[in-house]
Structure 1
Amino acid sequence: MIVVTGAAGFIGSGLVARLNLEGYNDIVLVDDFSRADKNKNFEGKTYSEMVDRETFHTWLQENHAQVEFVFHLGARTNTAEFDKAIFDKLNLGYSQMIWNACVEYGLPVVYASSAATYGMGEHGYSDDHAIIPQLKPLNPYGDSKNDFDKWALVQPKQPFFWAGLKFFNVYGPNEFHKSRMASVIFHSYNQIKASGKMKLFRSHNPKFSDGGQMRDFVYVKDLCDVMFFLMLHRKDSGIYNMGTGKARTFLDLTKATFKAMDVAEDIGFVDTPADIRDKYQYFTEADMSKLRSIGYAEPFTSLEEGVADYVKNYLIPGKYW
């Protein structure tokens, strides 16, 4: 059995699809399955069991001998949520429970960290373990992810293989349910479809032009390829960046979306909301050298190729991966 927590969500359901493509069908889906808007993410996929996240610890106690690998992708990911107690429970505490169980039962685990741990990028974007204690995230979500990374690194008992992946700006199919937290490509598509136009945040930093803010946008299919590689690799434990290593502008992203939709460009700008303006990241770019150093050699999908696949094969026809 392969366990995937967060299996009804964006990245988790994509990983299930990727595992199915490779012939892995004995998959245990773990999530809060009460949200009907996420059900389509796992419809049509092959799996052996669904386990509610609240009873997963008991399930694992009873079934760990049949488990081969754990992907812990479930988390509260709302960067606009400021109730620290929610993150302490669902991100930090729940992850610690899974880690300790994997140690006890001898299970390998890959878990989701986040590029939100890098804050304003004042320490750069290297996944060197020595830098992690110095990082200053900008919100409780980022704090919770960094708190777990720091905790994991100092544990005297660790799973025989583990990897934490710092997800950068992930986009792709199965994010219909994410509302405000969905990717800019998802919002661009819907705005262009509704009005024929797209409005981006104006730059409030003299070093960047309007729309020239840059992010490391990574296609969810690439991320799933990396996780599949790590499941087979099972050595070189540690924390790894999960981006492309190449920052692109929001203008690049928006132009690619217009092109994929075959709509003439009409791009305007609005002020960045005041509540996020002081904590707005103008540049992120993953240093991918560590992942490359352990043997991952596959190329990452270009922004233009990823947007075209996402828009033409998923958003326009309304399909799920």
Structure 2
Amino acid sequence: MSYIVVTGGAGFIGANVIKRLNERGEEKIIVVDNLNSSEKWKNLVELSFEDYVHKTKFIEMIKNETFTRAFRAIMHLGARSSTTEKNVEFLMENNYNYTKELAKYCLANNVRFIYASSAATYGDGSRGFSDEHALIPLLRPLNAYGYSKQIFDLWALKNGFLDKIVGLKYFNVYGPGEWHKGEMRSMVLKAYEQIKKDKKIKLFKSYNTLYKDGEQLRDFIYVKDAVEMTIFFLEKTELNGIFNVGTGIARSWNDLANAVFSALRMQPEIEYIDMPEEIKNKYQYFTKAEMTKLKSAGYNNPTFSLEDAVRDYILNYLEKC
């Protein structure tokens, strides 16, 4: 019997992937993560899986090939995902070197490899948001996190591996299971918390004359949709390469704030605040996933609208906590 490994399995997207796999009858799953002193272990409580392995022990076993179990796939969703992380060496070790070791193992052992890249690789978006491989060398990420993801994409491209593995560029994912992510929590969750505390939402002012305050645009994707797109590649083993995971629709922060107020049946009250100096020059004013490639690959599931997804998240999860 072969197993599915999910790294970052106690994390936001990882736990949601395992939940969906369980719903489909999959329980031969190995969770890889670093629970340390965080509370994210709670994401595992209702999940069914065979074993838990610490990420350091797992990579040692991969390097030494000391596993006795056979793997059907490694879904590498674990990473240091903070866009403000300043320890670049830490990012390179966790997001680049770790991913390389897993990729090399999978390629050598005929194991399906699906890994999380990021929309942060697109930088300011001036070169577009196409997931065609020709664009990869032209991208210029705005932060070290984005670069740590970009450099693996480049390594895979230069070594001719992208026709044998799958990289997924997740855009702005939000939904159940993200509560432990600190400052990297989605604005939906932060907005909900702000309303519960202060009855209003704070959004960053715009410092780009092309965008009014709160009208900066993002491709927001509900985690349930992101999970379906991810598992699609577990099934379609003939498909490989880099693919965007988004909706293909850009919505404003004001839209998001209004959706949160609407779900709570409250009148909107938005305060625009100064953006921290350290992120002003690294801020993405516009993101929108180009989804033609995924659709051409056969993925045709409809995605939640921002309003429907926010309502589902708030009413069926946050309000029930």
TM-score computed with the length of structure 1 as normaliser: 0.96
1:1-321 aligned at under 5 Å gives the runs: 1-60=3-62, 61-63=65-67, 66-156=70-160, 158=161, 161-318=164-321
Residue by residue, what CA displacement relative to the aligned partner does 1:165-222 show, whole Å, maximum 9, x if unpaired? 0110010011111111110101000000101111111111111111111000001111
The list of structure 1 runs, each at least 4 consecutive aligned residues, that deviate by more than 4 angstroms after superposition, is none
Structure 1 residue 261, shift from structure 2 partner: 1.6
Structure 1 residue 64, shift from structure 2 partner: 6.4
CA distance 1:3–1:160, shift in 2 (3 Å): farther
Number of residue pairs the alignment of both structures matches: 317
SS in 2 for 1:175: coil
Whether contact under 8 Å (1:102, 1:159) holds in the other structure is: no
Separation in structure 1 between the aligned mates of residue 199 and residue 259 of structure 2, nearest angstrom: 14
Separation in structure 2 between the aligned mates of residue 64 and residue 216 of structure 1, nearest angstrom: 42
Structure 1 residue 35, shift from structure 2 partner: 3.1
The aligned amino acid for 1:67 is F
Please, which runs of 5 or more residues in structure 1 have no aligned partner?
Answer: none
Separation in structure 1 between the aligned mates of residue 24 and residue 232 of structure 2, nearest angstrom: 12
Separation in structure 2 between the aligned mates of residue 249 and residue 7 of structure 1, nearest angstrom: 30
The aligned amino acid for 2:99 is S
CA RMSD of aligned residues (A): 1.3
Structure 1 residue 57, shift from structure 2 partner: 2.9
Please, which runs of 5 or more residues in structure 2 have no aligned partner?
Answer: none
Structure 1 residue 161, shift from structure 2 partner: 4.1
SS in 2 for 1:36: coil
Structure 1 residue 113, shift from structure 2 partner: 0.3
Residue by residue, what CA displacement relative to the aligned partner does 1:212-249 show, whole Å, maximum 9, x if unpaired? 11000001111110111111111131001111000000
The aligned amino acid for 1:6 is G
The aligned amino acid for 1:69 is A
Separation in structure 1 between the aligned mates of residue 278 and residue 199 of structure 2, nearest angstrom: 28
Whether contact under 8 Å (1:126, 1:287) holds in the other structure is: yes
The aligned amino acid for 2:289 is A
